[in-house]
Amino acid sequence: MKVVIAHSPDSDDAFMHFAIGEGKIDTGIYEFDHMMADIETLNQHAVEGRHEVTAISIHAYAHLSDKYALLNHGASMGENYGPVLIAREPKTREDLAGVKIAVPGKWTSAALATKLWYPEAVTEVVEFDQIMDRVGSGEFEAGVIIHEGQVTYKEQGYHSVVDLGEWWAQTQDGLPLPLGGNAIRRDLGEEHIQEISRILRESIAYALDNREEALQYAETYNRGLTRELTDKFVGMYVNQRTLDYGDDGREAVTRFLHMGEEMGAIPPVAHPEFIR
């Protein structure tokens, strides 16, 4: 049975799926193909139910819960860190009144977190890998960066207005900031869902247990990071939390979605379901 795993072309996602991609674990009757695209593209593909397994933004889950269930593993959570709102010069939230802020996709968790932090924010969608340059050129006064930019923006001369993961932890009882999750299509049926889930979790566990081998593979997707920064970035988003959200992680997802619902930013969503 062919199963497409759709994910971002990033070193952390490559690390997670290394064992499947390189045949390090037994996948039984399943033949896994990898499809890579930026997270907002994957969010929109999921509207059509295009892929059996896909990375999605937690924000997007509110729009997709009829088609997909969240797996209890594969999450990207910001533990007192997360997407960073940057500017060319030091700024405060008050400086952003009426200023257009570049965000990496309307259904990204970065976009929702920005609205939760600053409900009056004026945002415009820009491809994630263009945001830093377009802030640098002066086209935007500020922008929210995700992926590798979170560990390189300072050395490129930008200033942090707010680290949204840090803000979230400070205001939400120390909870991690939910960013992305792996989701599986509901119409696969219970038996396939459970078995595919087991294989995907085994892949993450293999990478964590064979870190150097998996990092070497992940480096091919690191978009210019050094080995040291690749190691740091992967460690930020693939760790024991990736094997299991944990009670606090599941609470964080629920709270994030309910806060978005309360401010009218997303449709109502029932208590999120996590496939073990």
- What's the pLDDT at 220? 87
pLDDT range class, residue 227, cuts 50, 70, 90: confident
Nearest to 256 by CA among 75, 14, 123: 75
Are 20 and 61 within one domain?
yes
- What's the pLDDT at 148? 83
Distance CA 153, CA 267 (A): 33
**15: domain range?**
2-77+178-275
Among the three residues 146, 171, 196, which one is the final residue of a domain in this structure? 171
Q: Looking at residues 16-26, what average pLDDT do you find?
A: 96
The pLDDT tens digits of the residues spanning 180-191 come to 999 999 999 999
Q: Answer yes or no: is pLDDT of 256 > 90.
A: yes
The pLDDT tens digits of the residues spanning 78-98 come to 999 999 999 999 999 999 999
- What's the pLDDT at 151? 87
Q: Answer yes or no: is pLDDT of 223 > 90.
A: no
CATH number of the structural domain spanning residue 137: 3.40.190.10
Are 194 and 73 within one domain?
yes
Is residue 147 flagged as an active site residue?
A: yes
Distance CA 7, CA 45 (A): 11
Question: What is the count of structural domains for the chain?
Answer: 2
Are 142 and 187 within one domain?
no
Q: Average model confidence (pLDDT) for the chain?
A: 95
| Cα separation values, 128 from 38, 137, 162, Å | 8, 15, 17
Instruction: Find the catalytic residue in 17, 147, 192, 271.
Output: 147
Of 271 and 143, more confident: 143
